[in-house]
Amino acid sequence: MRFNGYKAIKIVNETVLFRLSSLVVSCLISFLFISSPANSQKTALKTVVIDAGHGGHDSGCLGASNYEKHVCLTIALKLGESIKKNFPDVKVIYTRDKDVFVELHERAAIANRNHADLFICIHANSASPSAYGAETYVLGLHKTDSQKQVAERENSIIKLEQDKGARYKNIDLSPDALIIIQLQMSVYLDQSILFAERIQSEFKSLGRHDRGVRQAGFLVLHQTTMPSVLIETGFLTNPNEEKFLGSKDGQSQMSDAIFRAFKRYKNKLEGVAEQTSSGTGNNGPTEKEEPSKPSNSEKIDNPFENQASAPSSKIDPQDTVVFRIQFDMSEKQISVSSFRFKGLEVFEYKHDNLYKYATGKFVRDFKGANEYKNEVRKLGFSTAFVVAFLNGERINLEKGIKLAEK
């Protein structure tokens, strides 16, 4: 779906302004919150919205004897009760707490209206009987046809809404639009991935097959203005998984795993140290025991990491021009290991009061840098361009080319 005409442009502008204003307010609150000694970090996560997928006349995917809408609701309610019991200061809001149909836009609106700090959307999956395992999605570009199909299946319920999905006709889920949203909402995306990684780690501790952290264009995530994830708890089309997800014990295990991930995520945000545990008990793995990313988390391959012209962390040679490929920038500093950078080795520098991010290191080799730029663009960084440095300082590109030719 792509935008058309003045009306569509107006909608995009309003959406972008809404998202940016929300982000500015969030950043301002975070700044005031952190800088004030009277405030405690323990209030960083105050409201969570839990969304049980489907409901009412929308059954979701079907197993031999289980409906997705029932499985999701049970897990969602159990998760909410665990959060209320263990964190009474956290406000828990359900998009539905019974078997009713809630339109996609309203699910996101509930989270936005209540200024939620986290949005958790719970689903079950459908594919061939041989497919199995759990996966957690954040908003982004799908990398495989199967991920695209998951998003399309979940998005298709808009046809069951009263207007048959007319209100979504101007929503752009094209690759370019999703990249723009990711850039606008980068602070939320990083936190979404942080939470998603913990969810998958906890599923793995249950012995579930870890399908990893993934990205796709889900409408329900597209509309939210806070860290958001969509969890596919398993495949109801797989007899063994349906038996597990359809049982009270299986539903309790899944809700407990998501709760442990929530607890670890909350502790991480608020700087609360976790007590040592066995790694598989009620508290789950400690932060020290957890690897930086689950082994199965989706990582975009870097086709340049073994090439001689690949990025290098070595100090630039003195009085020598070095070309790099700038591909991102931000008003706020971003970790060079951020998922946003798609596995590229990153060189950070500050210029014009902005943090800028480049990759590659080409000593007096503008041609090589220009060719590498095209490869970086293929990774999704469509505006990547070559920049020149001399003794660690950025210089005019034309001047850099002339100096390199001497």
Could you read off the pLDDT of 78-105 as tens digits, one per residue? 999 999 999 999 999 999 999 998 887 8
- Model confidence at 120, in pLDDT bands (50, 70, 90)? very high
| 329 bridge partner residues | 356
Could you tell me the strand order of the sheet in which 354-363 lies?
347-351, 354-363, 321-330, 385-390, 393-395
The CATH number covering residue 106 comes to 3.40.630.40
Strand 354-363 relative to strand 347-351, pairing: antiparallel
Residue 191 is predicted with a pLDDT of 86
For 187, the 3-state DSSP assignment is helix
Q: Which helix (H) or strand (E) holds 68?
A: helix 68-86
Residue 225 is predicted with a pLDDT of 80
Whose structure tokens read 């014009």?
Answer: 352
- Does residue 312 surpass a pLDDT of 60? no
Residue 299 or residue 317, greater confidence:
317
Q: Last residue of a domain, which of 270, 290, 308?
A: 270
Closest of 318, 321, 324, 372 to residue 349, by C-alpha: 324
305 within some domain: no
- Does residue 16 surpass a pLDDT of 80? no
Q: Of 3-17, 27-41, 338-352, which has the strongest mean pLDDT?
A: 338-352
| 351 bridge partner residues | 354
| 78 within 8 A of 299, measured Cβ to Cβ | no
Work out the average pLDDT over 350-366: 89
Residue 121 is predicted with a pLDDT of 92
Could you read off the pLDDT of 219-261 as tens digits, one per residue? 656 677 888 899 999 999 999 999 999 999 999 999 999 999 9
Mean pLDDT of the chain: 75
Same-domain pairing of 157 and 264: yes
Among the ranges given (155-164, 196-205, 294-303, 312-321), the one the predictor scored with the smallest mean pLDDT: 294-303
Closest of 60, 42, 134 to residue 102, by C-alpha: 60
Same-domain pairing of 131 and 198: yes
Output the furthest CA–CA distance in the chain (Å, rounded).
75
State the Cα–Cα distance between residues 72 and 124, nearest whole angstrom. 7
The CATH number covering residue 344 comes to 3.30.70.1070
Same-domain pairing of 252 and 351: no
| 275 within 8 A of 252, measured Cβ to Cβ | no
Please state the domain count of the chain. 2
State the Cα–Cα distance between residues 165 and 104, nearest whole angstrom. 10
287 within some domain: no
Percent of the chain past pLDDT 90, that is, above it, reads 37
State the Cα–Cα distance between residues 243 and 266, nearest whole angstrom. 31
Same-domain pairing of 165 and 24: yes
Which residue segment(s) compose the domain that 347 sits in? 321-405
For 304, the 3-state DSSP assignment is coil
Residue 316 is predicted with a pLDDT of 67
Question: How many beta carbons lie within 10 A of that of residue 14, not counting itself?
Answer: 10
Q: Last residue of a domain, which of 208, 236, 270?
A: 270
Could you read off the pLDDT of 382-398 as tens digits, one per residue? 788 999 999 888 998 88
Residue 219 is predicted with a pLDDT of 65
Residue 28 is predicted with a pLDDT of 46
Residue 38, Cα to own-chain centre: how many angstroms? 32
Same-domain pairing of 258 and 333: no
Percent of the chain past pLDDT 70, that is, above it, reads 65
294 within some domain: no
Could you read off the pLDDT of 173-214 as tens digits, one per residue? 555 554 545 444 555 777 888 899 999 999 999 999 999 988
Among the ranges given (68-72, 311-315, 349-353), the one the predictor scored with the smallest mean pLDDT: 311-315
292 within some domain: no
- Does residue 403 surpass a pLDDT of 70? yes
Same-domain pairing of 52 and 197: yes
State the Cα–Cα distance between residues 154 and 220, nearest whole angstrom. 9
Q: Which helix (H) or strand (E) holds 327?
A: strand 321-330
In DSSP notation, 212-237 reads EEEEE--HHHHT-SS-EEEEEEEETT
Among the ranges given (36-45, 311-320, 325-334, 383-392), the one the predictor scored with the smallest mean pLDDT: 36-45
Tokens matching residue 299: 């990582």
